[in-house]
């Protein structure tokens, strides 16, 4: 296949039939009310292996000839692509070697092995791991399954667009995360061919915005490695193939902040009982924090994956609570004598603040003699409530810091 086309996506749909899940498209009453639109979630977090990646990987392997399949495949990934390729290969009964850089979280390694992949840890960066994967492919005669720079992979991801149109023909806007661009290239190609009026908006993070910068500048831009909780879309540069498709098919690309992503993860968890990884939550973050929607539009948000690292989930939830004004910290100086702590807690309780943690500091050099420093963590209702508590405490005590 020389290029991505609507026909190639239709072919991929036939290939993937009954091999991958036809994921649900669910209406969200909560997010519809919040935005004055009709909001739907496309739940690729419920896909096999926890993300959309198995679609493209399976379609690519299906197009290999028999001898290539028998030799096996190789991929490089730090997460979802690894699991998608491993699962797709196992469905064909062939071997999959996955190269990961050292330092990848153990749960991702074990999940990839669980889907049948052989994991090789190599290098300190994605680039070093990629070079090793190319070396293995050449020496052992394996086929490299690229995460996004491949028309068959993008066609597999594009089947999501076909499903959206089947379930919601009147869709007005699709909001989709962008990493390397394979997912949104496939979805945009599928939808624009049948409904050109439907807008397609991509989302990247402030920390890793290579596609955003490339499209705005009209040429490929490579960015440095940023720290983002949406590590599934932390790609330094799209490919020439995906860049060309995105330039012609997308209506806009927006960027979101880390705290906005954390808040979106929390909202999806609380309001929709949906576990989304950072990359899977950026579509909601964009809808809630960027002026991209028109009143009463029918909007589909792509929840691209749910493979969030449990070791950082607590931190992300806390960040989401802070962004929503539901977690607040005060650093207060009180006199070091009986009854002072009780009085402070009564004051906080009088304005319905809920204390969840207290740390005491008597000995730091910046604590005046005769005083104790209290670091108080509070559960609050919203930003106004946090401000009310702060002002109440400030009127009677010395505040050193607030969060």
Q: Nearest 5°: phi and psi at 385?
A: -65, -40
- On whether both 311 and 350 belong to a single domain, the answer is no
- pLDDT value at 314 more than 90: no
Average of per-residue pLDDT across 63-72: 96
pLDDT confidence of residue 1: 58
- Is 190 inside a domain boundary? yes
| Domain count along the chain | 3
Long-range CB contacts (< 8 A, 24+ apart) of 245-248?
Answer: 245/4, 245/154, 245/181, 245/185, 245/188, 245/189, 246/178, 246/181, 246/184, 246/185, 246/188, 246/202, 246/211, 246/215, 247/215, 247/218
- CB count within 10 Å of CB 81 equals 28
- On whether both 123 and 175 belong to a single domain, the answer is no
**Position with higher pLDDT, 364 vs 86:** 86
**Domain boundary residue among 283, 298, 321?**
321
- On whether both 299 and 169 belong to a single domain, the answer is yes
Taking the CA atoms of residue 202, residue 206, residue 211 and residue 212 in that order, the dihedral angle to the nearest 10 degrees is 70
Average of per-residue pLDDT across 98-105: 90
- On whether both 188 and 227 belong to a single domain, the answer is yes
- pLDDT value at 344 more than 80: yes
- The pLDDT tens digits of the residues spanning 38-59 come to 999 999 999 999 999 999 999 9
- pLDDT value at 400 more than 80: no
**Domain boundary residue among 118, 144, 170?**
144
User: Mean pLDDT score of the chain, rounded to an integer?
Assistant: 94
- On whether both 116 and 155 belong to a single domain, the answer is no
- The pLDDT tens digits of the residues spanning 109-168 come to 999 999 999 999 999 888 899 999 999 999 999 999 999 999 999 999 999 999 999 999
- Is 1 inside a domain boundary? no
- pLDDT value at 194 more than 80: yes
**Position with higher pLDDT, 401 vs 295:** 295
Question: pLDDT band at residue 339, thresholds of 50, 70 and 90?
Answer: very high
> For position 381, which CATH number holds?
3.30.70.260
- On whether both 300 and 348 belong to a single domain, the answer is no
- On whether both 58 and 45 belong to a single domain, the answer is no
- Is 174 inside a domain boundary? yes
Task: Give the end-to-end CA distance of the chain in Å, rounded to a whole number.
Answer: 54
CA 78 vs CA 56, 203, 247: distances in Å = 17, 20, 27
pLDDT confidence of residue 318: 83
- On whether both 204 and 334 belong to a single domain, the answer is no
pLDDT confidence of residue 317: 82
- On whether both 47 and 57 belong to a single domain, the answer is no
What percent of the chain has pLDDT above 90? 86
Question: pLDDT band at residue 2, thresholds of 50, 70 and 90?
Answer: low
- Is 311 inside a domain boundary? yes
CA 247 vs CA 84, 201, 213, 241, 402: distances in Å = 27, 12, 12, 10, 44
Kindly tell me the burial class for residue 202, based on how many C-beta atoms sit within 10 Å of its own C-beta (0-12, 13-18, 19 or more). Answer: buried
**Domain boundary residue among 304, 321, 338?**
321
- On whether both 169 and 220 belong to a single domain, the answer is yes
pLDDT confidence of residue 80: 94
- Is 180 inside a domain boundary? yes
pTM, to two decimals: 0.88
Nearest alpha-carbon partner for 185 in 280, 87, 193: 193
- On whether both 288 and 180 belong to a single domain, the answer is yes
- The pLDDT tens digits of the residues spanning 241-300 come to 999 999 999 999 999 999 999 999 999 999 999 999 999 999 999 999 999 999 999 999
- On whether both 73 and 57 belong to a single domain, the answer is yes
For residue 93 the two structure tokens come to 């009964």
Query: What range defines the domain where residue 168 resides?
Result: 6-51+150-321
Strand order in the sheet with 96-100: 118-121, 96-100, 73-76, 143-144
CA distance 246 to 359: 51
Residue 224's SS3 state is coil
């Amino acid at each position: 296949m020389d290029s991505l086309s609507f026909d190639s996506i239709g072919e991929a749909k036939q290939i993937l039939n009954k091999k991958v899940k036809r994921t649900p498209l669910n209406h969200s009453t909560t997010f519809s009310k919040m935005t004055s639109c009709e909001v739907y979630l496309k739940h690729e977090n419920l896909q096999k292996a926890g993300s959309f990646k198995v679609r493209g990987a399976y379609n690519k392997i299906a197009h290999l000839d028999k001898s290539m399949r028998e030799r096996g495949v190789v991929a490089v990934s730090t997460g979802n692509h690894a699991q998608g390729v491993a699962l797709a290969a196992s469905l064909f009964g062939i071997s999959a070697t996955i190269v990961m850089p050292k330092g990848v979280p153990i749960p991702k390694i074990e999940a990839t092995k669980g889907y049948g992949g052989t994991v090789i840890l190599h290098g300190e960066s994605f680039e070093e791991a990629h070079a090793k994967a190319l070396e293995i492919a050449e020496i052992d005669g394996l086929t490299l399954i690229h995460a996004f720079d491949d028309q068959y992979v993008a066609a597999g991801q594009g089947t999501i667009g076909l499903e959206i149109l089947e379930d919601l023909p009147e869709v007005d806007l699709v909001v989709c995360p962008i990493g390397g661009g394979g997912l949104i290239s496939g979805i945009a190609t599928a939808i624009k061919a049948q409904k050109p009026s439907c807008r397609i908006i991509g989302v990247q993070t402030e920390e890793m915005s290579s596609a955003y910068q490339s499209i705005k500048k009209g040429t490929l831009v490579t960015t440095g490695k940023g720290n983002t909780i949406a590590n599934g879309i932390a790609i330094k540069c799209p490919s020439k193939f995906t860049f060309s498709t995105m330039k012609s098919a997308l209506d806009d690309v927006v960027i979101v902040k880390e705290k906005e992503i954390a808040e979106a993860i929390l909202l999806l968890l609380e309001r929709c009982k949906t576990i989304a990884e950072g990359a899977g939550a950026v579509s909601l973050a964009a809808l809630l924090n960027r002026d991209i929607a028109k009143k009463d539009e029918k909007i589909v948000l792509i929840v691209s994956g749910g493979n969030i690292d449990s070791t950082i989930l607590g931190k992300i939830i806390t960040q989401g609570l802070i962004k929503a004004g539901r977690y607040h910290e005060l650093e207060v100086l009180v006199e070091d004598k009986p009854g002072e702590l009780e009085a402070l807690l009564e004051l906080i309780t009088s304005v319905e603040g809920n204390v969840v943690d207290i740390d005491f500091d008597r000995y730091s050099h910046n604590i005046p003699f005769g005083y104790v420093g209290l670091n108080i963590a509070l559960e609050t209702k919203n930003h106004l409530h946090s401000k009310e508590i702060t002002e109440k405490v400030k009127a009677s005590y010395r505040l050193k810091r607030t969060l």
